[in-house]
């Protein structure tokens, strides 16, 4: 670890406090979306320092946020205008620079307290700051390490814990999602949902449960895909497909379209039945052990097949799977295997651009807005590939969305645990989408799809949303554009 001297020779703490305009994080007011009882006491696990004093540091020794990465931040503030929480609240401590300052304070043995955790919790993990930062600060690694410390060392209220446990005992498990999808379908189809919404009953529900209800998509019949799909024409690649958890149950049509597109482009597609969650949701929430368990299992399953690449069509999953090497770096049995696995992971649009098109594209005459999912654009740097792939479709006019770099508020489980700011961001994104005048929205992440649809609905508007793979599939099969408008 290095300790940088600042030019004025000030203690590092003071220099950073000056840079962010705050004496300490506790000096900064938190007027909007304050902790509201979601956290309890200032906590920390006491330990002896070298001088023998008992202190209550925020972070323990198991991968705390890396001091060298923290010191890469030169406090320039270029990241601030792209940070959704800074845009919403205008609070320094809700900006990347402010959060990095808090991490540094935590390393300097500041206790982990309610306010500090609140500022970390409010971060969407959208990584817009990583894109914006001219100094190459790896905020992604910093917040991932910080979240794991928070989850391990911070005591949330029983209600908050229970809500998070409910999410993490349901969403990563397709079988459990299937179990709840049948009654949900009934709720939606026999008119109970409309009745509940009209009756105002939802207003009596806790905000988080209300947000979940609003986000719920129409639960479709699941379209199962074969374990092995042969290529159409000459075989160019043998690829695996991550079918996902929420994607598999609520967006099975996207998986089916992805398989057809890959097969049309000469790929044999293997979608192992026994695969489970990739661990993305758990990783982004700091549930380290759970995330590692899912990652190991995913590697085990896909290693059984001889695959050239592993294809992912959900942005959040792809970005995590590309990081398995980093996640499993301490595991002697998996570290090298994880690196090798990650090297094979490709987002579907990235892969299609790599191999180049062979299947004919038929016209889809429609003006469509393309929404960059944060975990595709910021976390994986994939912006040009989906635009290029879609740009080859005759008649399709792609329109750009203002403030494209700002998150829609979905961010994994963020729109369920932080419904207030998520709704504001969702409606801001929806307004920018409506301003394009497009008839169709295209995006590559199930979370964004749900979030934007719910935001539009709240505003009394609607635009059909499709995954790039669905659009390519419709074009390759010569389907009418109306097939995407359902
Ligand atoms: S990840 Fe997103 S919300 Fe978090 S600090 Fe960076 S830009 Fe802000
Ligand atoms: S842009 Fe980078 S260096 Fe500048 S304040 Fe933000 S994180 Fe720090």
pLDDT (tens digit per residue) in 349-379: 999 999 999 999 999 999 999 999 999 999 9
Q: Are 341 and 324 in contact (CB under 8 A)?
A: yes
Q: What is the pLDDT of residue 21?
A: 35
**DSSP letters spanning 421-436:** HHHHHHHHHHHHHHHT
Please say if the pLDDT value at position 93 is more than 80.
Answer: yes
Q: How confident is the model at residue 202 (pLDDT cuts 50, 70, 90)?
A: confident
Q: How far is the CA of 138 from the centre of ligand 2 (A)?
A: 10
Please say if the pLDDT value at position 213 is more than 90.
Answer: no
Give the residue-averaged pLDDT of 3-31: 35
Q: What is the pLDDT of residue 320?
A: 97
Q: Are 358 and 266 in contact (CB under 8 A)?
A: yes
Q: Please give the DSSP secondary-structure letter assigned to residue 94.
A: G
With a CB cutoff of 8 Å and minimum separation 6, the contacts of 11 are none
Q: Kindly report which listed range (4-13, 144-153, 352-361, 363-372) carries the lowest average pLDDT score.
A: 4-13
Give the residue-averaged pLDDT of 119-137: 98
Q: Are 425 and 410 in contact (CB under 8 A)?
A: no
Q: Are 307 and 238 in contact (CB under 8 A)?
A: yes
pLDDT (tens digit per residue) in 391-426: 999 999 999 999 999 999 999 999 999 999 999 999
Q: Which long-range contacts (CB under 8 A, 24 or more apart) does 414-418 make?
A: 414/124, 414/125, 415/211, 415/215, 415/447, 415/450, 415/451, 415/454, 416/163, 416/167, 416/208, 416/211, 416/212, 416/215, 417/121, 417/160, 417/163, 417/164, 417/167, 417/208, 418/33, 418/121, 418/122
Q: Kindly report which listed range (16-30, 335-349, 411-425, 456-470) carries the lowest average pLDDT score.
A: 16-30
H/E stretch holding 446 reads helix 446-458
Nearest Cα to Cα of residue 315 among 281, 359, 360, 287: 281
Pocket probe mutation, ligand 1, options 80, 82, 83, 84, max atoms within 8 Å of Cβ? 83
Q: Is 239 helix (H, G, I), strand (E, B) or coil?
A: strand
Structure tokens at 76: 């320039």
Q: Is the CB of 261 under 6 A from ligand 1?
A: no
Q: Is the CB of 125 under 6 A from ligand 1?
A: yes
Q: How far is the CA of 147 from the centre of ligand 1 (A)?
A: 13
Q: Is the CB of 83 under 6 A from ligand 1?
A: yes
pLDDT (tens digit per residue) in 247-276: 888 999 999 999 999 999 999 999 999 999
Q: How far is the CA of 28 from the centre of ligand 2 (A)?
A: 19
Structure tokens at 74: 């030169």
Atom 8 of ligand 1, nearest CA residue: 83
Q: How far is the CA of 53 from the centre of ligand 1 (A)?
A: 35
d(CA 178, CA 200): 28
Please say if the pLDDT value at position 49 is more than 70.
Answer: no
Q: Is the CB of 375 under 6 A from ligand 1?
A: no
Q: Kindly report which listed range (14-23, 148-157, 251-260, 282-291) carries the lowest average pLDDT score.
A: 14-23
% of the chain at pLDDT higher than 90: 74
Q: Are 235 and 347 in contact (CB under 8 A)?
A: no
Q: What is the pLDDT of residue 109?
A: 76
Q: Is the CB of 84 under 6 A from ligand 1?
A: yes
Q: What is the pLDDT of residue 193?
A: 73
Of 5-19, 99-113, 196-210, 255-269, where does the model show the most confidence?
255-269
With a CB cutoff of 8 Å and minimum separation 6, the contacts of 283 are 144, 291, 295, 320, 323, 327
Distance, CA of 79 to chain centre: 19
Q: Is the CB of 128 under 6 A from ligand 1?
A: yes
Q: Are 186 and 323 in contact (CB under 8 A)?
A: no
β-pairing, 267-270 vs 228-229, is: antiparallel
Tally of CB atoms within 10 A around 29: 11
Q: What is the pLDDT of residue 56?
A: 63
d(CA 178, CA 477): 29
Q: Which atom of ligand 1 is nearest to the CA of 122?
A: 3
Residue 7 burial (10 A CB sphere; 0-12, 13-18, 19+): exposed
Q: What is the pLDDT of residue 220?
A: 79
Q: Is the CB of 129 under 6 A from ligand 1?
A: yes
Atom 8 of ligand 2, nearest CA residue: 73
Domains in the chain with CATH codes: 12-156 (1.10.1060), 159-215 (no CATH), 228-353 (1.20.1050), 361-484 (3.40.50.11810)
d(CA 102, CA 142): 11
Higher pLDDT, 13 or 387: 387
> Helix H segments across 221-303?
246-250, 252-264, 280-284, 288-303
Task: Using alpha carbons, list the distances in angstroms from residue 364 to 192, 370, 404, 437, 468.
Answer: 37, 15, 24, 17, 13
Q: How confident is the model at residue 8 (pLDDT cuts 50, 70, 90)?
A: very low
Please say if the pLDDT value at position 28 is more than 70.
Answer: no
Structure tokens at 268: 């044999």
Q: What is the pLDDT of residue 137?
A: 98
Q: Please give the DSSP secondary-structure letter assigned to residue 143.
A: H
Helical packing angle, 468-477 and 384-391, nearest 10°? 20
- Nearest ligand to the C-alpha atom of residue 97: 2
H/E stretch holding 367 reads strand 366-371
β-pairing, 267-270 vs 237-241, is: parallel
Q: How far is the CA of 49 from the centre of ligand 1 (A)?
A: 32
Task: Using alpha carbons, list the distances in angstroms from residue 421 to 89, 90, 142, 408, 411.
Answer: 9, 13, 22, 10, 11
Please say if the pLDDT value at position 19 is more than 60.
Answer: no
Please say if the pLDDT value at position 10 is more than 80.
Answer: no
Residue linked to tokens 């001889």: 306
Atom 2 of ligand 1, nearest CA residue: 126
d(CA 114, CA 104): 16
Please say if the pLDDT value at position 311 is more than 90.
Answer: yes
Give the residue-averaged pLDDT of 70-90: 98
H/E stretch holding 228 reads strand 228-229
Please say if the pLDDT value at position 40 is more than 50.
Answer: no
Q: How far is the CA of 336 from the centre of ligand 1 (A)?
A: 30
Q: Which atom of ligand 1 is nearest to the CA of 124?
A: 3
Please say if the pLDDT value at position 232 is more than 90.
Answer: yes
CA angle 413, 83, 10 (to 5 degrees): 120
Q: Is the CB of 81 under 6 A from ligand 2?
A: no
d(CA 362, CA 476): 6
Q: Is the CB of 120 under 6 A from ligand 1?
A: no
Q: Is the CB of 130 under 6 A from ligand 1?
A: no
Atom 7 of ligand 1, nearest CA residue: 83
Higher pLDDT, 213 or 408: 408
Q: What is the value of pTM for the model shown?
A: 0.87
- Nearest ligand to the C-alpha atom of residue 414: 1
């Amino acid at each position: 670890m290095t300790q940088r001297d600042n030019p004025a020779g000030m203690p590092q703490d003071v220099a950073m406090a000056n840079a962010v305009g705050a004496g300490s994080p506790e000096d900064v007011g938190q007027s909007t979306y304050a902790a509201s009882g979601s956290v309890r006491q200032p906590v920390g696990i006491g330990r002896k320092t070298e001088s023998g004093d008992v202190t209550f540091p925020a972070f323990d020794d198991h991968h705390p946020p890396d001091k060298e990465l923290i010191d890469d931040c030169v406090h320039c503030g270029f990241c601030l205008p792209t940070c959704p929480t800074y845009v919403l609240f205008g609070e320094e401590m809700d900006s990347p620079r402010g959060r990095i300052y808090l991490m540094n304070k935590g390393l300097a043995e500041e206790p982990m307290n309610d306010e500090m955790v609140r500022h970390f919790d409010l971060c969407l993990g959208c990584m817009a700051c990583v894109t914006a930062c001219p100094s190459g600060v790896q905020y992604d690694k910093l917040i991932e390490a910080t979240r794991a410390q928070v989850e391990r060392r911070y005591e949330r209220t029983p209600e908050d814990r229970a809500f998070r446990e409910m999410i993490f005992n349901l969403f990563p498990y397709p079988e459990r999602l299937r179990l709840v999808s049948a009654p949900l379908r009934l709720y939606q189809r026999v008119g109970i949902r409309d009745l509940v919404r009209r009756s105002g009953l939802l207003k009596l529900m806790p905000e988080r449960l209300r947000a979940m209800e609003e986000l719920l998509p129409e639960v479709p019949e699941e379209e199962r895909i074969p374990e092995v799909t042969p290529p159409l024409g000459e075989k160019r690649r043998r690829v695996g497909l991550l079918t996902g958890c929420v994607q598999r149950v609520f967006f099975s049509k996207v998986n089916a379209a992805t398989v057809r597109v890959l097969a049309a482009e000469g790929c044999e597609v293997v979608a192992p039945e026994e695969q489970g969650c990739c661990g993305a949701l758990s990783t982004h929430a700091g549930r380290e052990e759970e995330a590692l368990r899912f990652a190991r299992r995913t590697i085990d399953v896909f290693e059984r097949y001889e695959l050239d690449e592993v294809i992912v069509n959900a942005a959040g999953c792809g970005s995590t799977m590309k990081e398995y090497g980093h996640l499993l770096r301490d595991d002697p049995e998996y570290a090298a295997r994880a690196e090798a696995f990650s090297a094979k992971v490709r987002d579907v649009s990235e892969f299609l651009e790599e191999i180049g098109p062979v299947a004919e594209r038929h016209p889809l005459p429609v003006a469509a807005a393309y929404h960059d999912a944060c975990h595709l654009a910021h976390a994986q740097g994939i912006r040009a590939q989906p635009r290029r792939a879609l740009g080859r479709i005759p008649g399709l006019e792609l329109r750009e969305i203002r403030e494209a770099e700002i998150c829609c508020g979905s961010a994994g489980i963020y729109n369920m645990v932080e419904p207030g700011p998520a709704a504001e961001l969702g409606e801001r994104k929806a307004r920018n989408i409506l301003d394009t005048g497009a008839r169709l929205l295209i995006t590559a992440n199930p979370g964004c799809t749900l979030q934007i649809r719910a935001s539009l609905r709240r505003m009394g508007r609607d635009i059909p949303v499709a995954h790039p793979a669905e659009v390519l599939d419709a074009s390759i099969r010569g389907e009418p554009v109306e097939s995407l408008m359902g």
